[in-house]
Amino acid sequence: MGKSSDIKLITDGKRIDGRKPNELRPVKIKAGVLERADGSAYVEVGGTHAIAAVYGPRTLHPRHLVNAQKAVLRTKYDMAPFSVDDRKRPGPDRRSIEISKVTREALEPVIFLEQYKKTGIDVFIEILQSDGGTRVAGITAASVALADAGIAMRDLVAACAAGKVDDTVVLDLCGKEDNFGQADMPIAYAPNEDKITLLQMDGDFTEEEFETALKYALDGTKRIYELQKKALKERYEKNE
Amino acid sequence: MGKSSDIKLITDGKRIDGRKPNELRPVKIKAGVLERADGSAYVEVGGTHAIAAVYGPRTLHPRHLVNAQKAVLRTKYDMAPFSVDDRKRPGPDRRSIEISKVTREALEPVIFLEQYKKTGIDVFIEILQSDGGTRVAGITAASVALADAGIAMRDLVAACAAGKVDDTVVLDLCGKEDNFGQADMPIAYAPNEDKITLLQMDGDFTEEEFETALKYALDGTKRIYELQKKALKERYEKNE
Amino acid sequence: MGKSSDIKLITDGKRIDGRKPNELRPVKIKAGVLERADGSAYVEVGGTHAIAAVYGPRTLHPRHLVNAQKAVLRTKYDMAPFSVDDRKRPGPDRRSIEISKVTREALEPVIFLEQYKKTGIDVFIEILQSDGGTRVAGITAASVALADAGIAMRDLVAACAAGKVDDTVVLDLCGKEDNFGQADMPIAYAPNEDKITLLQMDGDFTEEEFETALKYALDGTKRIYELQKKALKERYEKNE
Amino acid sequence: MNKIIPELVRNSVIGSIKEGKRLDGRAFDEYRPIEIEIGDLGKAEGSARVKIGNTRVECGVKIGEGEPYPDSPDEGILTVNAELVPMASPYFQPGPPDERAIELARVVDRGIRESKSIELKKLCITPEELVKVVYIDAYVLDYDGNYIDAAAFAAVNALQHTEIPEFGKLPVVKKPISNTFAKIGDAIVLDPSLEEESVMDARLTVTIEDNGHVCAMQKGGSGYFTADEIKNCIKTAKRKTKEIRKLVK
Amino acid sequence: MNKIIPELVRNSVIGSIKEGKRLDGRAFDEYRPIEIEIGDLGKAEGSARVKIGNTRVECGVKIGEGEPYPDSPDEGILTVNAELVPMASPYFQPGPPDERAIELARVVDRGIRESKSIELKKLCITPEELVKVVYIDAYVLDYDGNYIDAAAFAAVNALQHTEIPEFGKLPVVKKPISNTFAKIGDAIVLDPSLEEESVMDARLTVTIEDNGHVCAMQKGGSGYFTADEIKNCIKTAKRKTKEIRKLVK
Amino acid sequence: MNKIIPELVRNSVIGSIKEGKRLDGRAFDEYRPIEIEIGDLGKAEGSARVKIGNTRVECGVKIGEGEPYPDSPDEGILTVNAELVPMASPYFQPGPPDERAIELARVVDRGIRESKSIELKKLCITPEELVKVVYIDAYVLDYDGNYIDAAAFAAVNALQHTEIPEFGKLPVVKKPISNTFAKIGDAIVLDPSLEEESVMDARLTVTIEDNGHVCAMQKGGSGYFTADEIKNCIKTAKRKTKEIRKLVK
């Protein structure tokens, strides 16, 4: 957060890309975009493009990982080298290892893992283009991919971020807002279950700002949730 | 291939080391050069020195690699740090990983792997000095080492390269020709079986040049094949 | 050893920290300093601070390491990044891998490993501050930690170094003496069993200097041995 | 020999919490005893040992020099690393930091970085060329629950006492305090013990700056929180932080 | 759920090929449908998505700067990397590139490098000191056979549309086309599907330059080729390449 | 096929040693035959092959350039690496050097470094900026016991013949000789064979300089030595070293 800079991020109540504070970027969601995976989904949020694939339930290797009570969920978040301004070296770095962890913990609460004892469910997320909010786009995609794979779930998880730029609480930060803003708070939420399954935050929030940001974010996830359901409906209709 | 340069590689029909286009460098082959390995061989082609060792058939670890239908062949090609102009860092790099793969695929077609079900056969190749054509010298050595280890084979594999320098197709490129030439094409060939088991090429060949180079290379491998058989014969005679 | 320098390390028979040649730095030993480990100990030798922890006998993973005849002892020596002048990158380097090996071989001769067949005993050593003699401080701590864990032992192993500075044989080199001295010889010794279980040396010793240094070192270990026993006694009394 | 939490203990923890009590008798918003020992500046430019209950973290600060990042050419560099060393727990394995250790380092890092605790601009020697590098290494030596708060607090204490040779005191102006909560069933407890962590559904860390603002948060674990639970955690954290900040040496 | 090729399908493929037919009805020298989508130049300086049948590769080109190699002090640097990402196939594992991914990268690299596709001398900024570095990353996202041709073709397409900020178009003058054949029994088929690859004895890739010359070849697999088979593959490749090259966007 | 030492051989070795004899008929302080072949300076600036019995080590010396270490700004850099390549023994695995290979490299390094064998100051080109780097790589190609002495001796021989282009002979002024002993029961034998190593209790390496001083020692193995045993090893080493040093080519 907050490289100090002279960049003005809000002018006349409008953000640098013309949005209002509580406005999402254009969101596209498509289920079933890959042939090989058991389930898959593609998500675009503005300039951020994420694709997720699911394999499983399947036999888990190595065997010592097997859990007799439930499926083991594994997640891998990865940014393509060409998804960012300066080429990223391929392979996991500390950031992507942390994001893989919180992504798994964002999805676990809604999957009926106990229905798939002794198996593994693998979720792979690739960020093909990055313009802020890649982890939440990845979680949104992963959730649809899990449903596309026919994995039993309590609810879908929808994810988006809220934050603060130029002392204003805003929804869904783009890359520049993320770089030069004052706070960023990615959230994942299962609306039907009323469960916040991911929450991270860095920057500077008063208690009141936090509460506004949380309201914005939960509101944003609900709108994304509708698009997730629509994408799955289109997928099923196409398959019939 | 083809660092552009002013170096003249052919003068009056002679190559920089005085050879004619279709001439091999001096080749020495010796079987059974190591005590510990089950089979071994040493090959010198001009300034390129390769040693190969074979272990197996033996128990394969880890167990999940075991194939119930046949032996698993594993190959490791390695250049000693002191084998090249600028010291090479020890350990596999991308080049040696690729060469290990194509070496394995060059040897597999001639080994009766199905006679050694559930076992592993390991081939280790060390390049002690490098002056062009290390992978083919390694394959030539490995093939003799496999025979020395008593592994049942349909045929020996002999290997050498052909290429193009100063617009002339030539056999068995030395290091300088490899660096400043126009094409290089390593070939492995089992003469009795008429099987080309390795073929790589980079540079620039017309269809006609390719056909000449292929002819040269197959011809070269046949000469090397005779030296391989001679080395094995000497080895057996010595052992009697 | 022996960065050449103008530093005078002995003046009027006194060393840079005022010690006589055959004098140890102040030594503190405490057993049972960690809650979680099965056994633990803390050792201070001057500015060198080491902590050791023991887990086991416990189930050994991976299973192929299991020895049906005895316990497998594993040791890991590690320097904290902040223990040295220039921050050390975390993780094992070549030096710490070697020290882990000689530490294991210094402890094995005194443990009744055959009493704990098929299990693993793990010894972890962390150097929190380094001022010369870290490996011997680590071995001294590990030995106490093993006893604290209730592992059956023939004897305790006590360790310290002797060396040479300004042409004088000295006991227990501090960091500066180690850096600018002429020889360093770490020794581990089990006094009751009369077993030298670790011996390394680098620098320059005549045969006579070696014998003096060995005498100093064995003498030093005996003093440390008494402090080890005292620490264990205090630990047992406290536990009663 | 083996200290893995037995099923019996797990049931006791849950049963007790349901009745509004913690096994060790603490209130739900009560820390275990906190001990702080400031290092004697041996090889480290700053160091501190913090114990929260039996959880023990050694934190050392080393100062180096290096090239600044291109996007902050006039600022020093902050690097936080954490190690869950295998001596601390039978659950920790030798090897490079796993996802838990990486998350720990990054949560500690965010607290310090986002609160602007260190005046990084003062660590610039030559813009675009040379700046001071602050390495914070947190070593978890004994693990009995809640290593996050112990490591974060050790870092805050170590930074307070960091002296750079031929430079002076490290310019530290904030004391961000991390507060970690565990959700067990419907209850939320502060500073979970190892036993409590073994049964918790989810974890929430809230880091509070000197001015009472939130500067970092992190949810962990396979469970979830409601909006109200998070709001309450923030309120508790703001309140508790005042006590804890006073303990900084 | 599991899409591993069953024995039954393997037998069908072989039986069908013996009768001169491919399971999907293609001629032996026929590619599956090829789709190309040029990236909209987001973060990558150039990018393309290529689908050959259901095999999908995303290729991105990034431009950096660096020191030239000592033996080519006045030339830019070309670096090709390929990833067989685990989302693409149950056969691909997370982790650093294995021998298959490394071979893929090196075969794509040789096609571009040996055809002198990129005018590397134009990428020199200061000889011996600073040159442009061209990073080509090919991500195989969906694997249904023949990732080599898909990746090579994605790279060729991405390079055509690579724009370097404050520099202009990347100087690309050649379009090397890779053609991969599978030998199944005595038959040789172009562009093998996943099912065909699962039964093939050996693989041959022939890369043809704009002038019809061969610039790279690579045999793979545990089987072999005869001299005549290789000559025929080259002839087919020279012929097919003309069609494929027209598809470049 | 498998050359792992059978129990029967182990018992023979021990029985024989007890009777004062070695299985191969050597005296306790006798080396196996030593063969030395100096490399013909192909790519390496210096190289040697040493065989002690059937144990064979190839050692190559490469010369590079680099920045000196801050604490020795006017000295060249010495780097020793050793590889127990898997072709040498069924006990050696592919992969980065394990603890045995690292110990080997460090013991060879200490012999050369501590005897001040190479005049490192003469390898300084520009103080604090550029110095020659001496890379010594010892490759154990065939392992039949006692790779330490074979590697150390190969290094000494290779260094003697190292020529640096446009610089001249590498300034080598000492020939440190390493002598490795195995303790088997109460007996101590020099230059242990593979069979002897398989039953030894402990190992001691004593490296002796030209002037008869000890410059490095290393105990290995799970056993122990007494003070008198070590003193006797040093005496033997001092005596044997004179013979061995004469063999240096």
CA gap F50, F155 in Å, rounded: 9
CB spacing of B214 vs E227 below 8 angstroms? yes
| Interface with chain C: mutation pick from F222, F235, F238, F239, highest number of C CBs within 10 Å | F222
Predicted model pTM: 0.96
Q: Which pLDDT value is given to residue E1? A: 30
- pLDDT tens by residue, E64-93: 999 999 989 999 999 999 999 999 999 999
CB spacing of F143 vs B91 below 8 angstroms? no
Confidence of residue B204 (pLDDT cuts 50, 70, 90): very high
For C36, the closest of D64, D81, D88 (CB atoms) is D88
CB spacing of C128 vs D1 below 8 angstroms? no
For E64, the closest of A51, A87, A126 (CB atoms) is A87
Query: What is the average per-residue pLDDT within B46-68?
Result: 94
The answer to whether C85 faces chain D, any CB pair under 8 Å, is: yes
Helix (H, G, I), strand (E, B) or coil at D81: strand
Q: Which pLDDT value is given to residue B2? A: 59
Query: What is the average per-residue pLDDT within F135-148?
Result: 98
For A124, the closest of E81, E87, E96 (CB atoms) is E87
pLDDT at position B51 over 50: yes
Closest alpha carbon to F208 in F169, F170, F234: F234
For E224, the closest of B109, B185, B206 (CB atoms) is B109
Contact D47, D136 (CB under 8 A): no
Q: Which chains touch C (3 or more CB pairs under 8 A)?
A: D, F
**ipTM of the prediction greater than 0.85, yes or no:** yes
CB spacing of A83 vs E44 below 8 angstroms? yes
Residues of B in contact with F85 (CB under 8 A): 78, 124, 126
Contact F211, C206 (CB under 8 A): no
Q: Which pLDDT value is given to residue D1? A: 30
Query: What is the average per-residue pLDDT within C107-136?
Result: 97
Q: Which chains touch B (3 or more CB pairs under 8 A)?
A: E, F
- Provide the residue range defining the domain that includes C172: 4-239
The answer to whether E68 faces chain A, any CB pair under 8 Å, is: no
- pLDDT tens by residue, E90-112: 999 999 999 999 999 999 999 99
Quick one: tokens of D232?
């309450």
Confidence of residue F3 (pLDDT cuts 50, 70, 90): very low
Confidence of residue D2 (pLDDT cuts 50, 70, 90): very low
Backbone φ, ψ for residue A190 (5° rounding): -105, 100
Confidence of residue C7 (pLDDT cuts 50, 70, 90): confident
DSSP-derived letter for residue E170 is -
* Strand-strand pairing, D77-84 and D124-126: unpaired
The answer to whether B232 faces chain E, any CB pair under 8 Å, is: no
Contact D48, D136 (CB under 8 A): no
- pLDDT tens by residue, A134-191: 999 999 999 999 999 999 999 999 999 999 999 999 999 999 999 999 999 999 999 9
Contact A187, A161 (CB under 8 A): yes
pLDDT at position B30 over 90: yes
pLDDT at position F2 over 50: no
Q: Which pLDDT value is given to residue F1? A: 30
CA angle E40-E41-E46, nearest 5°? 115
Interface contacts (C, F; CB < 8 Å): 94
The answer to whether F78 faces chain C, any CB pair under 8 Å, is: no
Half-sphere exposure of D51 (CA within 13 A, CB side): 10
Contact F87, F71 (CB under 8 A): no
Q: Which pLDDT value is given to residue A4? A: 56
CB spacing of E90 vs A130 below 8 angstroms? no
The answer to whether A176 faces chain E, any CB pair under 8 Å, is: no
Q: Which pLDDT value is given to residue A64? A: 86
Residues of A in contact with D221 (CB under 8 A): 105
Confidence of residue C61 (pLDDT cuts 50, 70, 90): confident
| Interface with chain F: mutation pick from C102, C207, C212, C215, highest number of F CBs within 10 Å | C207
Residue with tokens 């194509």: B102
The answer to whether F102 faces chain C, any CB pair under 8 Å, is: yes
Quick one: tokens of D141?
């030596």
Quick one: closest CA in E to B108, which residue? E222
Residues 195-224 of C with CB under 8 A from F: 195-207, 210-211, 214, 218
The answer to whether D74 faces chain A, any CB pair under 8 Å, is: no
Q: Compute and round to an integer the Cα radius of gyration of chain E.
A: 19
CA gap A88, A92 in Å, rounded: 10
Quick one: closest CA in C to F205, which residue? C200
The answer to whether F210 faces chain C, any CB pair under 8 Å, is: no
For chain E, the structural domain boundaries read 7-245
CB spacing of E141 vs A91 below 8 angstroms? no
Domain F7-245 has CATH 3.30.230.70: yes
Q: Which residue has the higher pLDDT, B6 or B118?
A: B118
Does residue A128 come out as left (phi exceeding 0), alpha (psi in the -120 to 50 range) or beta? Answer: alpha
Q: Which pLDDT value is given to residue D3? A: 45
CB spacing of B124 vs F86 below 8 angstroms? yes
Closest alpha carbon to C231 in C42, C15, C24: C42
| Interface with chain B: mutation pick from E79, E200, E224, highest number of B CBs within 10 Å | E224
Residues of F in contact with C70 (CB under 8 A): none
| Burial class, A30, CB count within 10 angstroms (exposed 0-12 / middle 13-18 / buried 19+) | middle
Average pLDDT of chain C to the nearest whole number:
95
| Burial class, E57, CB count within 10 angstroms (exposed 0-12 / middle 13-18 / buried 19+) | buried
CA gap C104, C132 in Å, rounded: 20
C75: CB partners within 8 A, 6+ apart: C100, C101, C103, C104, C107, C122, C123, C124, C125, C142
* Strand-strand pairing, B48-59 and B27-31: unpaired
- pLDDT tens by residue, C162-203: 999 999 999 999 999 999 999 999 999 999 999 999 999 999
pLDDT at position D135 over 50: yes
| Interface with chain A: mutation pick from D114, D119, D241, highest number of A CBs within 10 Å | D114
Q: Which pLDDT value is given to residue F147? A: 98
In chain B, how many domains are there? 1
Q: Which pLDDT value is given to residue E42? A: 77
pLDDT at position C2 over 90: no
Counting residues of chain B whose pLDDT is more than 70, the rounded percentage is 97
CA gap C218, C195 in Å, rounded: 10
pLDDT at position E3 over 50: no
Query: What is the average per-residue pLDDT within D156-178?
Result: 96
Confidence of residue D21 (pLDDT cuts 50, 70, 90): very high
Average pLDDT of chain F to the nearest whole number:
95
Residues 186-205 of E with CB under 8 A from B: 202, 204
Contact C19, C11 (CB under 8 A): no
Contact D207, D216 (CB under 8 A): yes
Query: What is the average per-residue pLDDT within B96-115?
Result: 98
Q: Which pLDDT value is given to residue A61? A: 85
CB spacing of B126 vs F94 below 8 angstroms? no
Confidence of residue D40 (pLDDT cuts 50, 70, 90): confident
Q: Which pLDDT value is given to residue F115? A: 96
Residue with tokens 């990034």: E62
Query: What is the average per-residue pLDDT within D145-162?
Result: 97
- F57 CA to centre of own chain: 9
For C200, the closest of F212, F219, F225 (CB atoms) is F219
| Burial class, B111, CB count within 10 angstroms (exposed 0-12 / middle 13-18 / buried 19+) | buried
Contact A209, A183 (CB under 8 A): yes
CA gap B30, B41 in Å, rounded: 6
DSSP-derived letter for residue C24 is P
The answer to whether E221 faces chain B, any CB pair under 8 Å, is: yes
Closest alpha carbon to E77 in E117, E123, E141: E123
The answer to whether A65 faces chain D, any CB pair under 8 Å, is: no
Contact B210, B187 (CB under 8 A): no
- pLDDT tens by residue, B143-190: 999 999 999 999 999 999 999 999 999 999 999 999 999 999 999 999
* Strand-strand pairing, A39-45 and A27-31: antiparallel
DSSP E strand boundaries for D161-242: 163-164, 168-169, 177-184, 187-190, 202-208, 214-220
For D43, the closest of C34, C37, C82 (CB atoms) is C82
Confidence of residue C4 (pLDDT cuts 50, 70, 90): low
* C/F Cβ contact: 3+ pairs below 8 Å: yes
The answer to whether B69 faces chain E, any CB pair under 8 Å, is: no
Confidence of residue B240 (pLDDT cuts 50, 70, 90): low
The answer to whether B71 faces chain F, any CB pair under 8 Å, is: no
| Interface with chain A: mutation pick from E45, E52, E87, E162, highest number of A CBs within 10 Å | E87
Q: Which chains touch D (3 or more CB pairs under 8 A)?
A: A, C
The answer to whether B101 faces chain E, any CB pair under 8 Å, is: yes
Confidence of residue E2 (pLDDT cuts 50, 70, 90): very low
Q: Is there a cis peptide before residue F127, judged by omega within 30 degrees of 0? A: no
The answer to whether F20 faces chain B, any CB pair under 8 Å, is: no
Name beta bridge partners: C218. none
Closest alpha carbon to B140 in B63, B220, B235, B59: B220
pLDDT at position F74 over 60: yes
B39: domain CATH number?
A: 3.30.230.70
Cα dihedral B164, B167, B170, B174 in deg (nearest 10): -60
Confidence of residue E21 (pLDDT cuts 50, 70, 90): very high
Query: What is the average per-residue pLDDT within F142-164?
Result: 97
CB spacing of C129 vs D42 below 8 angstroms? yes
Closest alpha carbon to B2 in B168, B214, B204, B211: B204
Closest alpha carbon to A44 in A164, A120, A108, A137: A137
A18: CB partners within 8 A, 6+ apart: none
